[in-house]
Amino acid sequence: LAGTIDLAVMPAGSRLLGERLAGPLTDPAAIDARLDAVGFLLAQTGLRAELRRGLKSAPDVVRALARLALQRGGPRDLASLGQGLAAASAVADLLGRHDGLPAELAAAAQAAAGVEPSLALRLSEALADDLPLNRRDGGFVRAGHETALDETRALRDESRKVIASLQARYADLAETRQLKVKHNNFLGFFIEVSQAQGEKLLRAPFNATFVHRQTMADAMRFSTTQLAELEAKIASAADRALTLELAVFDRLSAAALVETERIKAASDGLAVIDVAAALAELAATRGWTRPQVDRSLAFEVTGGRHPVVEAARKRGGDAFVANDCDLSGEGDAAGRIAVVTGPNMAGKSTYLRQNALIAVLAQMGSYVPAERGRLGVIDRLFSRVGAADDLARGRSTFMVEMVETAAILNQASLRSLVILDEIGRGTATFDGLSIAWAAIEHLHDINRSRALFATHFHELTLLAKTLNRLRNLTMRITEWNGEVVFLHEVVPGAADRSYGIQVAKLAGLPAPVIERARALLAELEASDRQAHVERLLDDLPLFAARPTQDSMPAPAPPPPKRDALRDMLDAIDPDELTPRAALEAIYRLKRQRSDERDK
């Protein structure tokens, strides 16, 4: 979901969007404040585009500031701070030119403008255009910023010109055009000539000027007194220049760190603006609408869509089928449950998930993928979907399913939203049906949460006869030429078949397996399990008079303690005992009986 809705243009905006998605609000007033900001930028198309262009140029100033605080920053981090602060000032000015700003945008603009503009100007004036990654590489201070640094750099650069003139003079003196002045970290500055020319320089009068330093396979290297003096001068100038640049870096870093709190506040303000603009862009491009969030127990979604699936289908050129969902109710009618049945691949799980995601989006302060939505604040969202084991903890797939279901039934409240997908499928049919049946009754009578319950146990649809807040929904299909066509539409009613064999055929199971499955299904359906369950519904007192929270049955009595004396007698085989063993057994029984009396 985060990847689908994240249209933020700043790293800080993406982080804030993720935080909001992971922690939706439960205060309608705070939710409305966020929605007001999104709605304002949705209506102001031109302003939104300008803001997003300005925000896109803002680097991640918080990360840059953190590196500087840890003494790991470089010149590029200082430049990022300068660019970020300049962008913050520009965005704040842009918003300031518009009247009627929502409270959230006004506060964010004020925070963005909270850093003294002189800091951004100072950083811009001090730093060169082309910056090295590491501060010890030097060359990051702009020419003209520091007089002493400019003089030292001039001395260093002038020395390079002197080297060029020395090379020309030495070439004339050695009577060769192949002489070169080079430098390495081992010899410093040296003169390099060919092997033949080197032999000549070893003899008088050349050896009075040229001092032999190294012989190579095809060249010889020499030095002179002038080169040694020049090297010391250049090294001193380079070291001096780097020292001056590092001092400038330290002063700029200190000035930035003094403003840490205001810089962080400015970054947070930009992130808020970025998220509001991103959500407005999302609503504009995908046709999302503003939800109504209040303190009721409503859950009404008209034309709801799954944001992730819809985006994926749109990329493939396909449309998404929108569906309604109504779990609303107040007072005695609160806590409606919808049991969703239908074939495999018809869209039951998508329907459950899309309504849960709409709730999350609404309470994070976003527009939602629906024609209309009204939601009473949800305190917790419980989800039991999918099938997976946890072998590292010794849990089977069914055990994981039951642990998650137990957490829901023990914690869900009147304000919770519960989505349950295929409870009980990981065990025997009647075990699973019984657990799913009892779980629905508990949700209905004890938790009273708004809930969506998808199942292939079609017998559960009969509960609508006895549970007044339960309704049945089913996925529409049609059959054409013996094939199933999924319409992905949710309508009132109950399914009577799951069409699992048709789905197995689509998956590519061998034809003999499909034919055998059809024959077995016909035999099993002839047993009329549905009629048996209907009689169960009418006959069992458990379903005729379900317990309420105040009249839950008392816990079953603990099983009787084991009788140790009886167990010992059961373990004795008289036919196998010798006289001595029989006597020892009698003594053991006497001791056991004596011990029980003492207790």
Q: Is 557 helix (H, G, I), strand (E, B) or coil?
A: coil
Check if the beta carbon of residue 201 is closer than 8 Å to that of residue 178: no
| Residue 16, pLDDT above cutoff 60 | yes
| Domain 147-242 indexed as CATH 1.10.490.10 | no
Strand ranges inside 342-416, DSSP E: 372-376, 381-384
So what's the pLDDT on residue 166? 86
Nearest to 122 by CA among 254, 264, 241, 242: 254
Give 525-583 pLDDT, tens digit per residue: 776 555 555 655 555 444 334 444 454 545 444 545 556 777 777 777 777 778 787 78
Residue 71 and residue 22 in contact, taking contact as beta carbons nearer than 8 Å:
no
Please tell me the predicted confidence (pLDDT) of residue 541: 46
- Report the alpha-carbon distance of residue 586 to residue 583 in Å, rounded: 5
**CA nearest 14: which of 23, 5, 24?**
5
User: Cα-flanking dihedrals φ and ψ of residue 552, to 5°?
Assistant: -65, 140
Q: Do you find a cis peptide bond into 205, omega within 30 degrees of 0?
A: yes
Rounded distance between C-alpha atoms, residue 424 and residue 431, angstroms: 7
**Tokens at 493, concatenated:** 């009613």
Q: Whose CA is closest to 401, among 417, 424, 418?
A: 424
Tell me if 147-242 shares its fold with 288-551: no
pLDDT tens for each residue of 144-189: 888 888 878 887 777 777 888 889 998 988 888 889 998 887 888 8
Region 2-142+259-285: CATH code: 1.10.1420.10
Count of other CB atoms within 10 angstroms of residue 117: 12
Q: Using 50, 70 and 90 to split pLDDT, how confident is the model at 482?
A: low
How large is the average pLDDT for residues 232-243? 82
Looking at domain 288-551, its CATH architecture is 3-Layer(aba) Sandwich (3.40)
What are the structure tokens assigned to 356, written together?
Answer: 């849960």
Polymer length in residues for the chain = 599
User: Which pLDDT value is given to residue 531?
Assistant: 55
Domain range list for the chain = 2-142+259-285, 147-242, 288-551, 564-598
Q: Give the pLDDT of residue 543.
A: 38
pLDDT of residue 257 exceeding 50, the answer is yes
Helix intervals (H) in 382-485:
397-411, 429-442
